Amino acid sequence: MRKEVFRADSVTYARSGVNILDNFNLHVFEGEAVGLFFADNHGKDEFVRLAVENSAIDYGRVFFMDRQVNSYSAGNVRGNVRGGAGRGAAYPRVGYVSGAGGLIGDMTVAENVFVMRRGFRKYIINRAVLAAQFAIVADEYGIDIDGGAYARDLSRADAYIIQTLKAVLAGSALVIIRNAGIEYGDAELTRFQQQVRRFAERGASFIYISGDIGVLAGVCDRIAIAEGGRVVRVVGRSEYTDKKLSKYHFYPDRLSLSPDVGNVSILRFDRVSEGSLSGMDFSVSEGESVLLWDRTDRIRGDMRRILGKGARPEHGEVRVNGVPLQRAAGARISYIRETPTRSMVFSEMSCLDNLCMRAAERVPSLWLGSAHREVIRREYSQYTGGDIDAPTPVGLPAESLYNLVYLREHIYNPQILVIERPFVETDVGLRLHIMSLIAMFKQRGTAVLIIDSSTKDSEAVAGRMLIVGGGCIAGEKKLGEGGLGGKESSRGSGGAKEEIL
């Protein structure tokens, strides 16, 4: 019988009188990959904190390797979950893989795996020795990645593989993988999942958290479905059928998102070079939605500097309505960053003030009286409900926070809306809601540019997909409503056509 690695037994955690985790039950055995699907995102962050940090709970018990490490009555056994001595020794090491930020870009793959682990004591690093050690480990686990490559040059899939390898080699009793499935195209995702299976076959245990039930079905032995802060259903591999899982699948074709597209080019990149951009050349028309797909996720920072901050590129020109951006008086560009509810919602302001702050850039007098603000409150309460009168956004659900971000820009009425990775860390219902918010801009005639490292989900709101390769547009594909379709074409400055994943 396989050893039980982790068990949450009737765990309850409350905040401000509301149960965030409510009688939560989950167990994981050695060599098993268990999927965890939060149908409503309720309790996701709290569960991760419980598993990784052994945070305090209000009821229930937590077991690791057959040892009770947390209890509502005895108090949790806290400590350094990365393997520190003292009380932390009672709590097994837990690996956490959630993004490329887990690696140091200016160090090689081998250095990230061996040098940055606890207990490494050498002050002089022999890269040849490290590369040889990595080659042995890579061969053992079937990993086809160059140990001498710099981490900054890895694809997102390879970055996840190396982070997972690092956690396994560090002796983690359990590895938590979060949201990896929505980071890259299907081929890269399959490659990563195959690697997770190899780790599991050698005894590693995983909890794989994703907002895409199909991603979990591709790699996990069981899928636990959580709703309202508790596991409401566990589905075994033999039950992975459309009938069993269709309720939790994402169907973007429920929405009609195809507005009339004008012939007027609103945004034009004319052979732009800046940082990772090298001869970037494309345009977006009025009412059009374009997906700029960069699976390496290298261009986001440069695009943000140019379109979000108005920086002049080193070479080439960015034009808005035919005029260079820096001279385009009155050009209105809205830029929504990845996971915007963390960086674009301001807790010290009321919800109405959050909504009004961008409009005030166009109408400064808005802050001086209540008349304009009352007009906004009346018009947009149909979308926000009673949230618009909340004194603070703190404690509002994710859907309400996304309303504050997108509706704020809708009030601003931009000519161009740029969105970074709009569906990261979202559940099925939230994705559909974000789509409906994007549709409001498209119906108004706004030119929408989506920058993403994955075609998944974003393709549902785009009419065209531009494939980035070598910092320029290497390919183009027309997209059908709610999915891929149409003809693929090759274009760009000297770039070969790239494979569509």
Q: Is the pLDDT of residue 482 over 70?
A: no
Given this model, what pLDDT does residue 297 score? 86
Residue 70, burial from CB neighbour count under 10 angstroms (0-12, 13-18, 19+) = buried
| pLDDT tens per residue across span 141-176 | 999 999 999 998 888 889 999 999 999 998 898 999
pLDDT in tens, 332-343: 999 999 999 999
Rounded average pLDDT over 231-241: 89
Is the distance from CB of 258 to CB of 281 less than 8 angstroms? no
Q: Please determine whether the domains at 4-103+154-247 and 253-332+414-490 fall in the same fold group of CATH.
A: yes
Cα–Cα distance measured from residue 210 to residue 202, given in angstroms and rounded to the nearest whole number:
23
In 3D space, the residue among 158, 48, 180, 177 whose CA is nearest the CA of residue 103 turns out to be 158
pLDDT of residue 194: 93
Sorted by sequence, the CB contacts under 8 Å of residue 93 that are 6+ apart come out as 81, 82, 83, 170, 171, 172, 173
- The CATH class for the domain spanning 253-332+414-490 reads alpha beta
**Residue 498: its pLDDT value, please?**
34
Distance of alpha carbon 16 from alpha carbon 395, whole angstroms: 9
Nearby residues of 314 by Cβ (< 8 Å), 6 or more positions away: 273, 274
Greater confidence (254 vs 241) lies with 241
Per-residue model confidence (pLDDT) at position 419: 97
Weakest mean pLDDT among 205-219, 246-260, 304-318: 246-260
Topology of domain 4-103+154-247 in CATH is Rossmann fold (3.40.50)
pLDDT at 370 over 80: no
Quick check: 473 pLDDT over 80?
yes
For the whole model, what pTM was predicted? 0.65
SS3 state of residue 132: helix
Tens of pLDDT, residue by residue over 95-114, are 999 865 688 888 899 998 98
- Pick from 299-308, 354-363, 426-435, 484-493: least confident: 484-493
- pLDDT by residue (tens digit) across 372-415? 788 888 889 988 988 999 999 998 989 999 999 999 999 999 99
Sorted by where each begins, the domain ranges of the chain are 4-103+154-247, 253-332+414-490
